Amino acid sequence: MSSSRLLDRLVEALQAMPGIGPVSATRIAYNLLDRRREDALRISDALKEAAEHVALCPDCRNYCDAEGERCSICSDFRRRDSGLLCVVESPMDVESFEQSGAFHGTYFVLHGHLSPIDGVGPEELGLDALGRRLDEGGVREMILALGQSAEGEATAQYLTAMAKRRGIPASGIATGIPMGGDIQSVDGLTLTTSLENRRRIG
């Protein structure tokens, strides 16, 4: 309890951010109120705009700026090899690949992996959209860059079968990803190597 109800509310709200506990939230709130209110308003505006407008790209299900619009990666089709389709579990995985600079194909973002126990099936992962994309005929290879968990493996098997039915070869990035690790925490060089050493699995 501080001397201001609005300040207490801010400290409480900030704790909804991952990794921000009561001490960090208090420090952030006081710091922003003390001569940095322009920054506070800028953060407020950016949060509102993103929460209200960021949608999923109809082509790749990665984040885009507005409902029905394509994302900036799918819009950049002239500099992209649309024959290579890299399937990842989360939008942050795409950012990791983009930062490594090793991949110039296109992506498909699942936003998770198959997990029947949590009610996550093919529909929740947008696999109907992925199926349509494969049916369109331009994809010559599907690269799977999924987490090395049991659910990730099961998802990879499902996707490989989808590709196989359409005669499209599937590969999985292999080298350098530690067992049980996240794609997000791997450095760019390791990601580059794992792309170069991909091996056909379907």
> Rule CB under 8 A: which residues touch a copy of itself?
1-7, 9-10, 12-14, 16-20, 24, 26-34, 36-37, 39-54, 57, 60, 62-65, 71-74, 90-92, 94-95, 98, 111
Distances from the Cα of 78 to the Cαs of 12, 15, 58, 106, in angstroms? 46, 42, 18, 11
Q: 54 or 174: whose CB is closer to a copy of itself? A: 54
C-beta of 193: minimal distance to a copy of itself in Å?
A: 22
Phi, psi of 61 (to 5 degrees): 60, 20
Q: 118 or 135: whose CB is closer to a copy of itself? A: 118
C-beta of 169: minimal distance to a copy of itself in Å?
A: 26
Phi, psi of 148 (to 5 degrees): -85, 35
C-beta of 27: minimal distance to a copy of itself in Å?
A: 6
Q: 14 or 163: whose CB is closer to a copy of itself? A: 14
Q: 33 or 201: whose CB is closer to a copy of itself? A: 33
Q: 64 or 127: whose CB is closer to a copy of itself? A: 64
C-beta of 38: minimal distance to a copy of itself in Å?
A: 8
C-beta of 75: minimal distance to a copy of itself in Å?
A: 9
Helices marked H in the chain:
5-14, 22-33, 37-53, 72-75, 91-100, 127-135, 150-165, 188-196
Contact status, residue 104 vs residue 81, Cβ threshold 8 Å: yes
Q: 10 or 114: whose CB is closer to a copy of itself? A: 10
C-beta of 89: minimal distance to a copy of itself in Å?
A: 11
Measure the CA–CA gap between 121 and 96, rounded to whole angstroms.
25
DSSP 5-45: HHHHHHHHHHTTSTT--HHHHHHHHHHHHTT-HHHHHHHHH
Strands 199-200 and 141-145 turn out to be unpaired
**142 forms bridges with which residues in the sheet?**
85, 170
